[in-house]
Amino acid sequence: MNSSTKKLLDRFFQADQRALAKLMTLIDNRHEDSLEVMSAIHDQEKGAQRIGITGPPGSGKSTLVDKLITKYRQLEKKVGIIAIDPSSPFSGGAVLGDRIRMQEHSADNAVFIRSLGSRGAHGGLSRATRDIVSLLDAFGFDVILIETVGVGQTELDIMSIASTTLVVLVPESGDTIQTMKAGLMEIADIFIVNKSDREGADQIFAELRSLSEMYSTGWEVPVIKTVALKNEGTTELMEIIAAHEKHRGKQEKLSDEHILLSDCLEILLSELSDDLTEHLSPKGKYKKIYQNLISQKCNPYSAVIEMKKKIKI
């Protein structure tokens, strides 16, 4: 780890938010010190409540997040927010609309908002998201809200990060429900029909209730109506989120050994993927295989066979 990164870590552990922001950038850019930084902060995590908010574009997720921030601040909770934005096709960076919508909280030192690009990741989550959630946890935030792009079966990634996942839909989301069916139940801990003052809200509410009764196991997924712009239904939502957290606490959890092994393999696969992508390139370690592949002297399967021999897998 270089000296500037060490200084950032020292400032991070002294509760310096500028250091937090710079470490987030370091992690998001896959800096060479990323693994050492995460190793240093891993044992400092305090068990923050992690809430995922997902749903189709235009469903009012950001407005709902804004209201939840206010509610948690009234409870004197420190709140971290990660808004996963569609990546710019040119820079790979995040569109910062969510920060603008939540601007009223920007002067509050107990609220930290960060936008991340999805960078084309499956499930709408960048690979850095989990690590940045861990940074917020270790920094001392009590609640971390993770807002993701879109909704669908690829959104299952959020389940591995959030302890409670909210699926936000609107009265016009009928087609979404028809295509997702049981897949939605794999994602949702709580269904929210936002903009429920619109026509069709009762119908989608009934469809979601029916879906919940059909597919729920253990925790019967509740359905709640909200009008986030008017702050309607948010108090009830807070109560349901708390009830789900309590329910989770009573459930049998995976063994520590299983969780540690799973995390280790995920990190390892991510690092190997980066290394192999770099090696299988025009100037990389396996440039001969690359040249044979693009000239069609070999196919993808035979290319992998050759690479496995070289790396002795």
CATH code, domain with 59: 3.40.50.300
Mean pLDDT of the chain: 83
Asked whether residue 244 falls in the same domain as residue 113, the answer is yes
Work out the average pLDDT over 151-170.
75
Asked whether residue 90 falls in the same domain as residue 116, the answer is yes
How many CB atoms lie under 10 A from the CB of residue 140?
Answer: 14
Question: Which residue has tokens 């995920």?
Answer: 266
- Please identify, among 200, 215, 250, the residue that sits at the C-terminal boundary of a domain: 250
| Predicted TM-score (pTM) of this structure | 0.83
Between 59 and 50, name the one with better pLDDT: 50
Number of domains the chain is built from: 3
pLDDT interval class at 269 (50, 70, 90): confident
Sheet with strand 143-147: strands edge to edge: 111-117, 79-85, 143-147, 49-54, 164-169, 190-193, 223-225
Asked whether residue 29 falls in the same domain as residue 53, the answer is no
Helix axes 234-250, 61-74, angle to 10 degrees: 80
Range of the domain at 31: 1-44
SS3 246: helix
Asked whether residue 224 falls in the same domain as residue 262, the answer is no
What pLDDT is attached to residue 129? 86
Instruction: Give the DSSP H/E element, type plus range, for residue 289.
Output: helix 287-294
- Please identify, among 228, 250, 272, the residue that sits at the C-terminal boundary of a domain: 250
- Please identify, among 214, 229, 250, the residue that sits at the C-terminal boundary of a domain: 250
pLDDT interval class at 124 (50, 70, 90): very low
Asked whether residue 245 falls in the same domain as residue 274, the answer is no
d(CA 159, CA 186): 9
Percent of the chain exceeding pLDDT 70 equals 80
Whether residue 170 is predicted with pLDDT greater than 60 in this model: the reply is: yes
Whether residue 173 is predicted with pLDDT greater than 90 in this model: the reply is: no
Between 190 and 179, name the one with better pLDDT: 190
Residue 192 and residue 168 in contact, taking contact as beta carbons nearer than 8 Å: yes
> Strands, DSSP E only, in the chain?
49-54, 79-85, 111-117, 143-147, 164-169, 190-193, 223-225
End-to-end CA distance of the chain: 29
Asked whether residue 191 falls in the same domain as residue 56, the answer is yes
Asked whether residue 37 falls in the same domain as residue 54, the answer is no
Whether residue 94 is predicted with pLDDT greater than 70 in this model: the reply is: no
Between 195 and 125, name the one with better pLDDT: 195
Q: Across the strands, what pairs with 144?
A: 50, 80
Q: Using one digit for the tens of pLDDT, what is the confidence trace for 19-56? A: 999 999 999 888 889 999 999 998 899 989 999 998 88
Work out the average pLDDT over 209-234.
88
Asked whether residue 195 falls in the same domain as residue 287, the answer is no
Q: Using one digit for the tens of pLDDT, what is the confidence trace for 242-251? A: 999 988 876 5
- The dihedrals phi and psi of 223, each to the nearest 5 degrees, come to -120, 130
d(CA 299, CA 64): 49
d(CA 80, CA 1): 27
Whether residue 91 is predicted with pLDDT greater than 50 in this model: the reply is: no
- The dihedrals phi and psi of 247, each to the nearest 5 degrees, come to -60, -45
Asked whether residue 140 falls in the same domain as residue 236, the answer is yes
Whether residue 155 is predicted with pLDDT greater than 50 in this model: the reply is: yes
Asked whether residue 151 falls in the same domain as residue 68, the answer is yes
d(CA 80, CA 206): 33
Task: Give CA torsion, residues 159, 160, 164, 168, to 10 deg.
Answer: -30
d(CA 264, CA 258): 10
Whether residue 184 is predicted with pLDDT greater than 80 in this model: the reply is: no
Whether residue 123 is predicted with pLDDT greater than 50 in this model: the reply is: no
Percent of the chain exceeding pLDDT 90 equals 44
SS3 94: strand
d(CA 136, CA 140): 7
What pLDDT is attached to residue 58? 83
Instruction: Give the DSSP H/E element, type plus range, for residue 207.
Output: helix 201-215
Between 104 and 234, name the one with better pLDDT: 234
Asked whether residue 192 falls in the same domain as residue 265, the answer is no
Q: Tell me the residue type at 266.
A: E
What pLDDT is attached to residue 218? 78
Asked whether residue 16 falls in the same domain as residue 120, the answer is no
Between 108 and 156, name the one with better pLDDT: 108
